[in-house]
Amino acid sequence: MSRLLLAALLAAAFARPARALEAAAAKVDITPDLSTERVWLAGFGAKGRRPTGVHDPLYARIVLLREGGETVALVGLDLLGFYLNDTKALRRAWAKDGEDKVLFVHATHTHSGPDTLGLWGPMIGVSGVNKRYMARVNGRIVEALGLLESQLKTATAAGGRGTLDPRGLCRDLRDPQVIDPNLGVLRLQGADGKAIATIVNWSCHPEVIGRENTLITADFPGPLCARIEEKTGGQCLFLSGAIGGLMSPDTDTENFYETARIGAAVADAALALKTPARGRGLAYRAEKARVPVENSRYLLFLSALTGGHDLSRADGAPIKPSRAWLLSIRHLLFGLTEKNRPWIETEVSVLDVGPARFLGIPGELFPELAIGGYDGRYSFGRPVVAKDGPARDLASAPKGPYLRDLIKAPVPMLVGLANDMLGYVVPEYDFQVRPSKSMLPRLPGHYEETNSVGPSATRILTESAARLLSEPRP
């Protein structure tokens, strides 16, 4: 036997088996128990609404993935948002022994779920978060993750991307008229051919049901996922995309027929989308980003932020939560300068699963930051800027490449409200507010700025995303 043949046989004998992707999926009910848990509905106005009942359940939908030594859980929550500190607490509870486990958390942003951010309580400035409810949600997710680890099985990942005409489904309430029509689908299937999970990425606010509603509901993502689960037999995970701007359901009526109609339309488009792209590989990376709190209203109510973020100075020195009120009073009386304004930490993330690449942005990203569209290519029949509306200086708008251009994968998925919630991520050229401390009255056509951490965050987050996307896949 030649030395060359012997070497080949020895190499084959000791070669590691090819890494196989494994997957499991489940959903757990996280609907508040209104008989024992007092909650306030979030999403509209400056204070919460007392719920009078439950129209449909809220879920935490989980897809657990493992390949080699990498374990990643995607968790989709039927909630308005989930702060970074809440995500970190969930990670610690799951990976108790410091195991190499990654958690990618996303909130669908339903406007008829409980306040989880502390901004919609019984009165302005009073948190509506029920800590006992939040602890129960975390406990149910951790329990489900533990169970799913024992149910992992070999899986294949196939995906596809397409476009969905938004007319009749989603509209843009703020000029310039730019609607992201991208529809991304990733299908996970077991060796037996049965569906494990379908992940759908599309952009629109889950706010078919408006501010007068007092019933808990997942809005259109609820019937969307229910339809896909019924048709495939597997679980469904819906990930909201670039919903800033403001992407709102294209309907003149606020009723549950419309939530079902929009949910079914998006579900059927996802089910019909061909998914030829295949691939293996699981990789996650994230970058910490520090952003200044520039929103004057947030500075007046800093205590509402301290539950979800750790405050620090510009030089990175920590600020004790107990000092938040002092900073707010100082801002009210004298104003905070750029030097003594607090900062918070957030994160931007990239997740590769087979042919799909997920870019996680911790807020409500304006679609023009994702796809451009200042030339009208994504206005879908409407003028880019209305003649009778507020003027927009499109000449100062950022040029490409835009974020979706940088997601170089067969199935690019841009995910908003990922691992954190900083409010709207507004293009800097169009960020305009009143100079008053209350930022009121709002400038016409500039609502989103008053619910954004500030203009500097846009540049910091997009630059972080560009760096992550430029790195070679591990």
Closest CA to 217 of 52, 35, 415: 52
Asked if residue 120 lies in contact with residue 41, where contact means CB atoms within 8 angstroms, the answer is yes
CA distances from 253 to 173, 174, 207, 210, 250 (A): 16, 19, 11, 9, 9
16-43: average pLDDT: 91
Residue 240 clears pLDDT 70, i.e. is over it: yes
Per-residue pLDDT tens digits for 400-456: 999 999 999 999 999 999 999 999 999 999 999 999 999 999 999 999 999 999 999
Confidence of residue 2 (pLDDT cuts 50, 70, 90): low
Per-residue pLDDT tens digits for 364-396: 999 999 999 999 999 999 999 999 999 999 999
Instruction: Check residue 430 and report its DSSP letter.
Output: G
Q: Determine if the pTM surpasses 0.85.
A: yes
**326 C-beta neighbours (distance < 10 Å), count:** 12
Q: Examine residue 362 and say whether the peptide bond preceding it is cis (omega within 30 degrees of 0).
A: no
Residue 287 clears pLDDT 50, i.e. is over it: yes
State the Cα–Cα distance between residues 27 and 40, nearest whole angstrom. 23
**52 C-beta neighbours (distance < 10 Å), count:** 11
pLDDT number for residue 13? 38
Confidence of residue 97 (pLDDT cuts 50, 70, 90): low
Beta pairing partners, 77: 60, 107
pLDDT number for residue 14? 40
Give me the DSSP letters along 213-259: --EE---THHHHHHHHHHHHSSEEEEEE---TTTEEE--S--SHHHH
